Amino acid sequence: MAGNPARESLDPNDALDRLGRLSLRELSMESLLQTVAELTRSVMPGHTETSVSLLVRDVPTTVVSTGQLAVDVDESQYESGSGPCLHAARTGELVVVADARTDTRWPDYMPQAAGRGALSSLSVPLAIDDDSQLSGALNIYAREAGAFDEEAQSAATRFGPYAAVAAGNLHAYQSARDMAGNLQAALESRAVIDQAKGVLIERYKLTPDQAFQLLARASMHANRKVRDIADVLVRTGELPVTTRRDDRRAAQRTPGPGSPARDGPRPS
């Protein structure tokens, strides 16, 4: 996500004060992260771009950025599987690259960074949630070598906690939304399967377990999910494949819980 190209130079204390006055009720977590990235860029010397990387079970993604340079350099690390932002996220260490043209760490990454114009960088680790295997990094890329002195490093690390909280909340929100979507889909699947079982119970005088077995056999014959088979039956009244008579008989011979088989020996 590209930020506003207009650059505003701020004192770190003023930028942190702005963050402290933001209303979380009026901003999404993604908007808050974007603001953290833009304010971090505004206090850094030189011509910089920033990004926030998230590492979920060691799978990285860039959630916000202020420009294409940051996105490109992040992705070059994801492709090679190593680099300063990944190292910061994995180890919790602050990583400074003074000059990508001479730095011998991560040899697959450094030439790409220099070739894209990111001659120096600073990656601030974000400790978010160890239990969920969730970490991240606030990344700052400069087009000049040696852009980040001790004062710049100190200023950048002060933004880390804001980014960590926002990134953690963003991940929690997205996870909850995905879980809710999966639950809704599961409930809908169960409902349509129950409806299809009702059709079969009425049509063939089966028990609920026998009706499900018939759906399962149709699923195997058609190589489709049981939920899809059930949906077709509910909508059209027909199974997607011709159900052979011996399938129906097999289903009828499958006893329900606590019930004797229809074709089996009856107790005397």
Same domain, 98 and 131: yes
Same domain, 56 and 160: yes
Judge contact between 60 and 54, C-beta under 8 A.
yes
| CATH at residue 235 | 1.10.10
pLDDT of residue 106: 96
Out of 145, 177, 209, a domain closes at 177
pTM of the complete model: 0.59
Same domain, 132 and 219: no
Phi-psi region of 138 (alpha: psi -120 to 50; beta: other; left: phi over 0): beta
Same domain, 96 and 191: no
Same domain, 188 and 168: no
pLDDT of residue 262: 40
pLDDT of residue 256: 44
Q: Is 164 inside a domain boundary?
A: yes
Judge contact between 42 and 14, C-beta under 8 A.
no
Gyration radius from the chain CA atoms? 29
What range does the domain containing 241 cover? 181-253
Same domain, 38 and 154: yes
Domain count, the chain: 2
Same domain, 203 and 134: no
pLDDT of residue 211: 86
pLDDT of residue 113: 96
Same domain, 126 and 47: yes
pLDDT of residue 49: 95
Q: Is 4 inside a domain boundary?
A: no
Q: What is the Cα–Cα distance from 101 to 118, expressed in whole angstroms?
A: 10
Q: Is 76 inside a domain boundary?
A: yes
Q: Which residues, 6+ apart, have CB-to-CB distance to 251 below 8 Å?
A: 204, 206, 210, 211, 213, 214, 217
Q: Is 2 inside a domain boundary?
A: no
Q: Is 33 inside a domain boundary?
A: yes
Q: Is 108 inside a domain boundary?
A: yes
Question: What string of DSSP letters covers 92-132?
Answer: ---EEES-TTT--SSTTTHHHHHHHT--EEEEEEEEEETTT
Give me the average pLDDT of each 10-residue run along the chain (268 residues).
48 68 62 84 88 88 93 95 95 95 95 95 84 82 94 86 70 60 67 86 87 85 83 86 52 45 36
